[in-house]
Amino acid sequence: MEIRGERIEIRVGDARMGAYLARPKDGTPRPGVIVWMEIFGVNAHIREVTERVAREGYIALAPDFFHRSFPGLEVGYDPKGMEVGMKGLASLDADQMIADARAAVGHLRLLPGCTGRLGAMGFCIGGHMTYLSACETDVAAAASFYGGGIAAPKGPGGKDAPIARTPKLSGKLLCLFGGKDALIPASQVDAIRKALTDAKKRHELVVYPDADHGFFCNERATYHAASAADAWQRVTRLFAEELR
């Protein structure tokens, strides 16, 4: 499917949040999908994922939720990139993240050709943002890849962590974790599973035993092809069933 991509800006209160937008060229009405970045920004990998989503037949939007502290940040997966990205992570506040999520939802829904049915997906802190978005907006489907801090005692800025917001979730949530991920202990994964089950939310939680943190990104040393392929199938099935 032929697509086009462009850089745009989204108004968030008095601020402007950069984003990358990719969509099919055929003009057919499409559902929308938000792609939440890692700490490395809306870099080449995130843009490629956004375009990959667009080729599946969606209007795909990757917002830069570091726009307040490190606007336009794009770094690689080396130690220097990690150092800068961690500074961006430390600057986040959950209330501002929710504002960004709601702004992205509103902007995407108003784009010409968007059906209004929306999904979200994201990686690492973007996986955290996906869970947060699923609880604080009306996205119908969400896929969180190795979302760090979801089950932490507190969220960014000392606000409620996403797990505490689970009762507010309205759509279907897919959570994907690596069994070898030392950044997200099994106890936190178990806590997320319990919270979703206790709240009787529609969900699927998958742990790939041989996968580590970042297993979906083919530019990282922890890329795990088999787990990434299975995860992509689950994500595309989720969006097809819930958004079309």
Active-site residues, by number, are 124, 181, 213
Spatial separation of the C-alpha atoms in residues 149 and 155, rounded to whole Å: 7
Buried-state track 11-23, b at ≥16 Cβ within 10 A, e below 16: ebeeeebbbbbbb
Beta bridge mates, 120: 34, 142
Q: Which secondary-structure segment (H or E) carries 233?
A: helix 225-243
Q: Give residue 4's Cα distance to chain centre.
A: 21
Token reading at 210: 């041989």
Based on its alpha-carbon atoms, the radius of gyration of the chain, rounded to whole angstroms, reads 16
Spatial separation of the C-alpha atoms in residues 65 and 69, rounded to whole Å: 9
Q: How far is CA 143 from CA 78, 132, 179, 206, in A?
A: 26, 11, 17, 11
DSSP string, 39-58: TTBS-HHHHHHHHHHHHTT-
Q: What three-state secondary structure class fits 117?
A: strand
